[in-house]
């Protein structure tokens, strides 16, 4: 099992491209040597045939090698070495033979560039032995000349390996010698780029149970020993093409190319059973076509959370416990419009007035009771129901608010959550335009709320969709800001108009002076960039007062009202006459 991303887990795409170029250059060199050499007709034809073989090899590798298993590349590289040895034997002149033999440098460079140091050294020794014997058998090349060529090839191989190791240091965790988060992310991108329609990939997050207690009671040296023990044990037990990384702290991340969710779950469970003293909770998720790396790892994190919630020391597959009846009932409820829409007020802090609402889906199973939104929304995403669910929520919410405006002359700005899977659907912006046209609700009073993690560079489709939606006049809000994905430096580049600070961040602002200062900085930066700020999860008057003090414009939370049907929200507002109050 390869511990480092470089060179052990380089994607087949990079290997194929480099090897194809080397084959092409070797073929061109062979043709030039053949054209300039004084050879008999038979020898010339054989040398020309070898050059043509190199060209064919370049075409085959470039066209098909991206989907090859790793062992196939050893066949390709070994074949190149054999072609070079044969060409050296057939070349009639010593100068041409030495030039041909120098092509063995390609084999050595590839060996050190894409394989382990042991394999690279094997290619170095085998290549030098083969080409030296071929040069001496050729008859006109002296041993000192062959040794001089060997020296050059060894030097180039050594430099290549040194550069590879230096480049890999930036992607390596020095404690465990695994890939670090940067290396893992790059490996993920390489694997996703090379996936075919029928290829499978699973990801897993591994978390050490009770690790904090080890550090607190035995010290950090003991904790470091445990981390190294996990790295060594799992590296030895996993398949050769697996990618294991230290994701941060006591958390490890794992990529399993070629394995679906069920097979990946069985594998990690078998490894956990092999090392019962290394108590781990593991969450597994299978890649779904079209999703980003962040979305895949978020689902693996959800599975990890489920494993810990179920008692720790467990391995869980994201979505693995779905009940077919539950999925069928949800699909039927979406089709029938039985998923209700509740609304939670958004308050303007300075005027103490409600100026907007966030639409939230609620589902009650007949004869069972309410289902957690986290549960059925995740279920909808896993079973391709999220598009229909999102469209139903948008149509119902805009229809209700449009009817309210027609009756009262009052309008509440509408916030609606959007899934990353919806944004990655090319038809999503047009469907939203059609829903707004159908219900008569203005785009300028519609806020699409999306988490910042969906706007990473890897989610180009989502970003393009948001630009298209903003061009229609729809407002975009960055939801859950303040969580692990946040980056203040990116606020001026995201396609957004509103920043919603996550409730977990707001919860501590009255007890942590540093958290309050951070919030003040966030608000100041956002205001300077022309972004409105909404604080989520406001539960106390003290929090509301502090939010107003630091300059936060809007608040949302149970202090201002829980999610409820629109009629209850309106009744709580006590509206009697139209108003032209400003909106968030």
pLDDT per residue as tens digits for the range 356-402? 999 999 999 888 888 888 778 877 877 788 899 999 999 999 999 99
Q: What residues pair up with 315 in beta bridges, in sequence order?
A: 282
Write the burial class of residue 13 (CB in 10 Å: 0-12 exposed, 13-18 middle, 19+ buried): middle
CB 146 within 8 A of CB 132: yes
Mean pLDDT of 456-485: 78
Residue 344: strand, helix, or coil: strand
Residue 214: the pLDDT is: 78
Which among 425, 429, 418 has a CA at the least distance from the CA of 390?
A: 418
Whether the pLDDT of residue 521 is over 70: the answer is yes
Whether the pLDDT of residue 312 is over 80: the answer is no
The DSSP call for residue 563 is -
What pLDDT, in 10s, does the model give residues 194-237? 787 778 899 999 998 878 777 777 788 888 888 999 999 999 99
Strands 554-556 and 340-348: antiparallel
Mean pLDDT of 26-43: 72
Whether the pLDDT of residue 324 is over 80: the answer is no
CB 251 within 8 A of CB 206: yes
Scanning 37-176, the segments in alpha helix (DSSP H) are: 41-64, 70-90, 94-101, 104-114, 117-138, 143-169
Whether the pLDDT of residue 72 is over 60: the answer is yes
CB 243 within 8 A of CB 5: yes
Residue 346: strand, helix, or coil: strand
Of 482 and 271, which is predicted with more confidence?
A: 271
Which among 189, 286, 270 has a CA at the least distance from the CA of 234?
A: 270
Residue 454: the pLDDT is: 54
Q: How far is CA 336 from the centre of its chain?
A: 35
Residue 399: the pLDDT is: 96
Residue 2: the pLDDT is: 41
54-70 residues labelled b (16+ CB within 10 A) or e (exposed): bbebbeebbeebbeeeb
The DSSP call for residue 515 is H
For residue 21, give both structure tokens.
């170029």
Residue 309: the pLDDT is: 60
Residue 580: the pLDDT is: 42
Of 244 and 319, which is predicted with more confidence?
A: 244
Of 470 and 248, which is predicted with more confidence?
A: 470
Mean pLDDT of 418-444: 91
Q: In what order do the strands lie in the sheet with 280-286?
A: 243-248, 251-257, 201-208, 280-286, 315-317
**Considering the chain, what is the average pLDDT of its residues?**
83
Mean pLDDT of 116-126: 86
Q: What percent of the chain has pLDDT over 70?
A: 88
Range scoring the smallest mean pLDDT among 89-93, 306-310, 514-518? 306-310
Whether the pLDDT of residue 423 is over 50: the answer is yes
Name the pLDDT band for 445 (thresholds 50, 70, 90).
Answer: very high
Whether the pLDDT of residue 489 is over 60: the answer is no
Q: Which residue has the tokens 């699973």?
A: 202
Element (H, E) at 574: none
Mean pLDDT of 173-199: 84
Name the pLDDT band for 12 (thresholds 50, 70, 90).
Answer: low
Q: What are phi and psi of 48, to 5 degrees?
A: -65, -40
Of 61 and 544, which is predicted with more confidence?
A: 544
Which among 322, 323, 310, 326 has a CA at the least distance from the CA of 368?
A: 326
Which among 137, 20, 124, 25 has a CA at the least distance from the CA of 86?
A: 137
Name the pLDDT band for 345 (thresholds 50, 70, 90).
Answer: very high
What pLDDT, in 10s, does the model give residues 566-583? 999 999 887 754 444 334
Residue 183: the pLDDT is: 85
Question: Residue 340: left if φ>0, alpha if ψ -120 to 50, beta else—which one?
Answer: beta
Residues whose CB is less than 8 angstroms from the CB of residue 150 and which lie 6 or more positions away in sequence, other chains included: 128, 132
pTM for this one? 0.52
> Per residue, what are the HEC states of 440-477?
CCCHHHEEEEEEHHHHCCCCHHHHHHHHHHHHCCCEEE
304-336 residues labelled b (16+ CB within 10 A) or e (exposed): bbbbbeeeeebbbbbbbeeeeebbebbbebbee
Task: For the chain, give the longest Cα–Cα distance.
Answer: 106
């Amino acid at each position: 099992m390869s511990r480092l991303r470089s060179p052990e887990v380089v994607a087949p795409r990079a290997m194929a491209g480099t090897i194809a170029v080397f084959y092409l250059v070797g073929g061109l060199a062979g043709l030039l040597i053949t054209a300039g050499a004084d050879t008999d007709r038979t020898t010339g034809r054989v040398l020309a045939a070898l050059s043509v073989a190199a060209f064919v090899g370049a075409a085959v590798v470039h066209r098909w090698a991206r989907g090859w298993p790793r062992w196939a590349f050893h066949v390709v590289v070994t074949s190149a070495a054999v072609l070079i040895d044969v060409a050296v034997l057939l070349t009639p002149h010593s100068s041409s033979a030495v030039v041909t033999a120098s092509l063995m440098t390609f084999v050595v460079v590839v060996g050190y560039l894409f394989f382990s140091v042991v394999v690279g050294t094997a290619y170095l020794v085998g290549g030098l032995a083969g080409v030296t014997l071929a040069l001496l058998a050729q008859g006109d090349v002296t041993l000192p000349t062959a040794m001089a060529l060997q020296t050059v090839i060894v030097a180039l191989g050594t430099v290549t390996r040194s550069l590879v190791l230096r480049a890999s240091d930036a992607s390596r965790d020095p404690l465990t010698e695994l890939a670090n988060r940067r290396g893992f992310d790059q490996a993920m991108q390489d694997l996703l780029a090379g996936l075919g329609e029928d290829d499978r990939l699973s990801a897993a997050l591994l978390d050490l149970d009770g690790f904090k207690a080890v550090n607190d009671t035995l010290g950090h040296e003991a904790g470091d020993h445990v981390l190294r023990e996990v790295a060594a044990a799992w590296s030895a037990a996993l398949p050769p093409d697996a990618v294991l990384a230290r994701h941060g702290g006591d958390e490890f991340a794992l990529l399993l190319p070629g394995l679906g969710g069920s097979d990946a779950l069985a594998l990690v469970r078998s490894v956990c059973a092999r090392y019962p003293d290394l108590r781990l909770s593991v969450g597994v998720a299978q890649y779904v076509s079209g999703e980003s790396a962040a979305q895949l790892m978020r689902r693996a994190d959800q599975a990890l959370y489920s494993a810990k919630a179920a008692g720790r020391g467990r391995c869980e597959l994201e979505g693995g416990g779905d009940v077919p009846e539950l999925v069928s009932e949800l699909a039927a409820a979406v089709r029938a419009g039985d998923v209700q829409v509740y609304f939670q007020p958004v308050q303007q802090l300075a005027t103490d007035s409600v100026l907007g609402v966030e639409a939230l889906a609620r589902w009650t199973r007949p004869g069972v009771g309410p289902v957690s939104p986290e549960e059925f929304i995740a279920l909808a995403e896993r079973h391709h129901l999220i598009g229909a669910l999102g469209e139903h929520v948008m149509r119902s919410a805009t229809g209700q608010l449009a009817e309210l405006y027609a009756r009262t002359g009052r309008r509440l700005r509408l916030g609606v959550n959007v899934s990353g899977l919806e944004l990655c659907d090319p038809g999503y912006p047009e469907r939203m335009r059609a829903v707004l046209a159908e219900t008569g609700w203005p785009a300028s009073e519609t806020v699409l709320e999306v988490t910042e993690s969906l706007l990473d560079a890897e989610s180009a489709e989502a970003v393009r969709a948001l630009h298209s939606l903003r061009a229609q006049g729809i407002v975009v809000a960055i939801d859950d800001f303040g969580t692990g994905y946040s980056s203040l430096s990116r606020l001026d580049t995201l396609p957004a108009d509103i920043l919603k600070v996550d409730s977990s961040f707001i919860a501590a602002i009255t007890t942590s002076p540093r958290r309050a200062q951070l919030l003040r900085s966030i608000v100041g930066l956002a205001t300077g960039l022309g972004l409105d700020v909404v604080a989520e999860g406001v539960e106390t008057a003290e929090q509301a007062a502090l939010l107003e003090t630091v300059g936060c414009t809007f608040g949302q939370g149970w202090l201002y009202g829980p999610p409820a049907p629109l009629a209850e929200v309106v009744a709580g507002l006590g509206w009697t006459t139209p108003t032209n109050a400003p909106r968030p």
